[in-house]
């Protein structure tokens, strides 16, 4: 049985409300109905698709709720997630939105693959990657992967 789609990822936010607001503002996600879990959090998505499950970090009994990220996960368990990626459209709209929000963001192009990317950090420092596939003309306000040093 093959996988069919990415259902969601859970992130543990240091400031749940601030992080929820960031994802809603920066990525235009909406709050979705969420089951009555025994810990605070949100489901965020769009068009009946849940993409982000957000939970409060540092709550009592967190070892019961968050089995995927024990205290020393980066050292001896599941590792560290570098970024989460979404497909997207209209890079100029995101550029303007992130500039208005005064977010830490950057952009890169891979012209040979018709791929343009924008990266933005959430309030806890997790990098969100937005992929704009099929771009025939690259915006000029981005780094070009072709001009970066190569690992040999």
Q: For the chain, state the CA radius of gyration.
A: 17
Percent of the chain with pLDDT over 90: 41
Beta partners for residue 133, in sequence order = 115
pTM (two decimals): 0.80
Q: Residues near 43 by Cβ (< 8 Å), separated by ≥ 6?
A: 8, 31, 32, 33, 34, 50, 52, 53, 54
* Residue 5's pLDDT band (cuts 50, 70, 90): confident
pLDDT in tens, 77-125: 555 677 888 999 999 999 999 999 999 899 999 898 899 999 998 888 8
Write out pLDDT tens, residues 142-151. Answer: 988 888 887 7
Q: Which residues contact 69 (CB under 8 A, 6 or more apart)?
A: 12, 77, 78
pLDDT of residue 39: 87
Burial 107-116 (b: 16+ CB within 10 A, else e): bbbbeeeebb
Nearest CA to 134 among 69, 88, 94, 72?
88
Among 126, 129, 125, smallest CA distance to 117 is for 129
Map out the domains of the chain with their CATH numbers: 1-79 (3.30.720), 82-152 (3.10.180.10)
User: Residue 7 contacts by C-beta under 8 Å, 6 or more apart in sequence?
Assistant: 50
Q: What mean pLDDT do residues 63-83 have?
A: 64
């Amino acid at each position: 049985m093959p996988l069919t789609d990415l259902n969601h990822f859970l992130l543990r936010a240091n400031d749940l409300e601030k992080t929820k607001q960031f994802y809603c503002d920066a990525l235009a996600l909406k709050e979705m109905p969420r089951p009555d879990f025994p810990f605070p959090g949100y489901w965020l998505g769009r068009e009946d698709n849940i993409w982000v499950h957000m939970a409060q970090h540092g709550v009592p009994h967190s070892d019961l709720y968050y089995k995927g990220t024990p205290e020393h996960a980066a050292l001896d368990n599941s590792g560290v997630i570098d970024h989460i990626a979404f497909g997207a459209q209209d890079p100029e709209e995101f550029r303007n939105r992130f500039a208005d929000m005064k977010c830490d963001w950057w952009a890169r192009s891979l012209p040979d693959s018709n791929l343009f990317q924008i990266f933005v950090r959430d309030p806890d420092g997790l990098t969100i990657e937005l992929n704009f596939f099929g771009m025939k003309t690259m915006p000029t306000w981005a780094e070009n992967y072709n001009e970066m040093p190569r690992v040999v």
